[in-house]
A and B are shown apart, each in its own frame.
Chain A
Amino acid sequence: MLGNLINQGRIKSPWVVHFDCGSCNGCDIEVLACLTPIYDIERFGILNIGNPKHADVLLVTGTVNHRNKHVLKNIYDQMPGPKAVIAIGACGCSGGVFREAYNVVGGVDKVIPVDVYVPGCPARPEAIIDGVVAALEKVKTLLGMTA
């Protein structure tokens, strides 16, 4: 009974943590734009928080490089399950224009499992919101809530 209630809460109000993983800032400011009055993701119950230990969804922008892959892994490991990962932007999906640079490992999926890919350079705020909604479907499956 109580478990059901918590699961309902997880779906209705997912908390997201954002990590900039070597992005050019283009996607980061679009993630921030999602919080602001024009897009306002909070109306869907989505809350941006700073602590990965409180988060259900991890938003990662940018390419992974040899230095921050440890940081990314660390943040992912700190998140309690069930959790979903969203790679934002062309860089997060595959490495984008930086793919051939020497310090770039590639997309986020080289380090941690990714559930949703949001393309775009940079991704539009609408697309990011859509990505979070798609990630919730994944969380639902993990919770066994799908009909």
Chain B
Amino acid sequence: MARTILPFGPQHPVLPEPLHLKLTIEDEIVVEALPTLGYVHRGLEKLCEVRDFNQMVQIVERVCGICSCLHALCYCEGIEQIMGVEVPRRAKYLRTIWGELHRVHSHLLWLGLFADAFGFESLFMQFWRVRERIMDIMEATCGNRVVVSVNVVGGVRRDLSPEQCQWIEQQLIISEKEIRQLQTTILNDYTVKKRCCGKGVLTKEQAYQLGAVGPMLRGSGWAQDARQTGYAAFGELGFEPIVEYDGDSYARCAVRFRETLQSFDIVRLAIARMPAGETAANVEGANEDDTPRIISGNRGGIMQSYNRDKHHSITAAPPPDLDIPAGSLAAKVKGKPDGEAVTRVEQPRGELMYYLKGVGSKNMDRVRIRTPTFANIPPLLAILPGCELADVPVIVLSIDPCISCTER
């Protein structure tokens, strides 16, 4: 049988990002897949030489716009570990709330894109409609829709007022109801199952040997999640990972769908148990001289741009009319990080690892970022051979590729 080599990407309608796959096909069946990366490589890690360790928070947030909050969280936890800072408990809870809201928006985004990958455009639209509510929560509480920029070394820079917490809870109730309406379609629909069940099967052994992470790993029957390590407030909130056993695209989809609902519960629990207190701690490191931390003050009037008729829905209550509480931004950063740290958090796509090394100067010596998609590419290449060409978009999407993370 003659072999054909088919290029897939870098600019491809199904991929929001430039990933190039060289697919060797034999009569519509993929026999080999070779990835080509590097289209999004910017060289962020080396920027730590020109930006100081406080400014690097803004850089690592932009490693990936979809999970920016968790990148910053992972980085800040690492610096705090090096400098021996104890973050206030309230800040830990706030980090958890924003981190989990980020997971919800990322999973909803993915569920939509996944529906689009198998040609179910109206389902894509529905998931993104629900997602806008989460984006509104971000905007109302942080001032920006996507890159929320709430984490700083030592804590968070914004606080949630009781009215805002109440409003978030109302919004979550509405969103959860809307998501549950879509549950029958994404998980039980005949057409969806036909396109996902048994496609791209990753066995339990393969998942372990190839080092899969995140929903890819949990979809193959491993109960492993970095949230079990208890970062931010997870140590106090408790956490049970969601596991599916089939290892196919459908299982990965189910994991993400159930995790979305689980994250709602985590946000509610965190809001309910959130203690009062400071939102940022003073940071004091080894060296004495001050590193001025530039923190913008309370940016009032952000909500003025909010269009209240946006959802055309009478059930949606408008956000409370108040200035965003700016948190205790008086916390000072003193000293410079000296030492090494490795931190792990669970990103929507899987486990994210930061290695940080400071040598007592204001610039970090090394910032190494290992992202979940990087770990999930070897399993992807293992499940592609043997599938039909038409299933390639579904299988590629099922790992939730984030190329911008991978290449940095």
Contacts and interface: CB of A to CB of B under 8 A. Distances in A.
Interface of A: 19-30, 32-33, 36-38, 49-52, 62-63, 65, 67-68, 71, 75, 96-98, 100-104, 121-122, 124
Contacts of A21: 18
Interface in B94-133: 109, 112, 124-125, 128-129, 131-132
A63 B42 contact: yes
Given A29-B109, A101-B43, A103-B41, A122 B65 contact: yes
B63 interface: yes
Among B18, B46, B131, B135, chain A packs the most CB atoms within 10 A around the CB of: B18
Interface of B is mostly: loop
A51 B135 CA distance: 29
A49 B390 CA distance: 19
Contact of A22 (B42, B47, B311): B42
A142 to B, nearest CB: 24
Interface of B: 10-13, 16-18, 38-44, 46-47, 50, 58-59, 62-66, 68, 109, 112, 124-125, 128-129, 131-132, 135, 145-147, 310-311, 402, 404
A26 B11 contact: no
B43 A104 contact: yes
Given A38-B311, A50-B13, A98 B62 contact: yes
A26 to B, nearest CB: 3
A22 B132 CA distance: 25
A36 B13 CA distance: 16
B11 A19 contact: yes
B66 A20 contact: no
Contacts of B404: 22-25
28 contacts: A19-B18, A20-B40, A22-B42, A24-B62, A24-B65, A24-B68, A26-B65, A26-B146, A28-B16, A29-B16, A29-B109, A30-B145, A36-B125, A36-B128, A38-B129, A50-B11, A50-B12, A52-B11, A65-B39, A65-B40, A65-B42, A97-B59, A98-B42, A100-B47, A101-B42, A122-B65, A122-B146, A122-B147
